[in-house]
Amino acid sequence: MKSLLSCVIVTASLTLAGSAFAAELPAAAKAKCGACHALDKKLVGPAYKDISAKYKGDKDAVSKMIANITKGGAFGWKLSNMPPKGMGATEAEIKTIAEYIAGLAQ
């Protein structure tokens, strides 16, 4: 019993330690956005970390990003136009990625 308990504690603390670092990029972000976006360097589009910084402290960050990703276009980065939904991302994928990007700034 005691060893089972410590096993649970170890697992829990590993999970916590993991979340202190930037979570792994969602798979859909690699597949459907990766041609133009990377975590910390500018490609065709801005780095996720820079986007996150733009929205830091904005409580509507996730909904604004979802709207922008869905409609595509230009958002003031002066790079080029983003295609609507990237490369065919679903609504659920867009939401996951927007939450991920917003979470980077914390």
Q: What is the contact surface with ligand HEC in residues (CB under 6 A)?
A: 32-33, 35-37, 44-46, 51, 54, 65, 68-69, 74-80, 82-83, 85-87, 89, 94, 97, 101
Q: What's the one-letter identity of residue 58?
A: D
Q: Which residues, at least 6 apart from 36, have a Cβ–Cβ distance to it below 8 Å?
A: 43, 44, 45, 82, 86
Nearer to ligand HEC, 13 or 90 (CB): 90
Nearer to ligand HEC, 13 or 84 (CB): 84
Q: Which residues, at least 6 apart from 11, have a Cβ–Cβ distance to it below 8 Å?
A: none
C-beta nearest to ligand HEC: residue = 86
Query: What is the rounded CA–CA span in Å between residue 104 and residue 42?
Result: 16
Query: What is the rounded CA–CA span in Å between residue 105 and residue 54?
Result: 9
Shortest reach from residue 13's CB to ligand HEC, in Å: 31
Shortest reach from residue 16's CB to ligand HEC, in Å: 27
Nearer to ligand HEC, 21 or 95 (CB): 95
Query: What is the rounded CA–CA span in Å between residue 21 and residue 42?
Result: 21
Nearer to ligand HEC, 12 or 74 (CB): 74
